[in-house]
A = this chain, B = another copy of it.
Amino acid sequence: MRSDLDLKARQTLKSAKLYCTAGRVAVLKALFKADKPLTQEEITGQLGQNHFDKVTIYRTLESLLKVGVVHQAFVKNRARHFELSHNCSETQCHPHFTCTSCGKTHCLTDMRMPKAQGRHRGFIIHRQQTRFEGLCPACA
């Protein structure tokens, strides 16, 4: 039984001209299912029985980064967080919200921040990301 998500993952790999392997499909599926940026550890956790070495996970993420299917979000300083780029424009990612009480991070995919595109004192801005801190609905 090959699920919808499975096909989506395979499709994605194919159009990115990446070898379609079990590990990559699994990682992509985890990212499709997630509603927030994930670390390698969280991805491994999602996979459960369907285990892949952390090196493989990192290398997969690296490949997906290179072709632009995923990107990194700045959630915590000590760990890389990855998410699909499909909710973001070329020049701007949706904002991320981190709760100072429970520590959880949420994607505010429905929120648009004004773009500071162009240049500023010689700096050519290609991409912008916004991060919020505060209280999430559950903690407020």
Given known contacts A100-B126, A124-B135, what 13 new A-B pairs fall within 8 Å (CB)? A74-B131, A78-B80, A95-B116, A97-B123, A106-B123, A108-B121, A110-B121, A121-B137, A123-B135, A125-B133, A126-B132, A127-B134, A129-B132
Would A120 and B127 count as touching, CB distance under 8 A? no
Would A113 and B116 count as touching, CB distance under 8 A? yes
Interface residues on chain A, size class: 35 or more
Contact with B along A58-98 (1 / 0, CB 8 A): 00000000000000101001111100000000000001010
- Distance, CA A95 to CA B120, complexed state (A): 12
Does A5 belong to the interface (CB within 8 Å)? no
- Distance, CA A134 to CA B128, complexed state (A): 9
> Closest approach, in angstroms, between the C-beta of A129 and any C-beta of chain B?
5
- Cβ contacts A to B, 24 pairs, < 8 Å: A74-B77, A77-B77, A77-B81, A78-B80, A108-B120, A108-B121, A113-B113, A113-B114, A113-B116, A116-B130, A122-B136, A122-B140, A123-B135, A123-B136, A123-B140, A125-B134, A126-B133, A127-B132, A127-B133, A129-B130, A129-B131, A129-B132, A129-B133, A130-B130
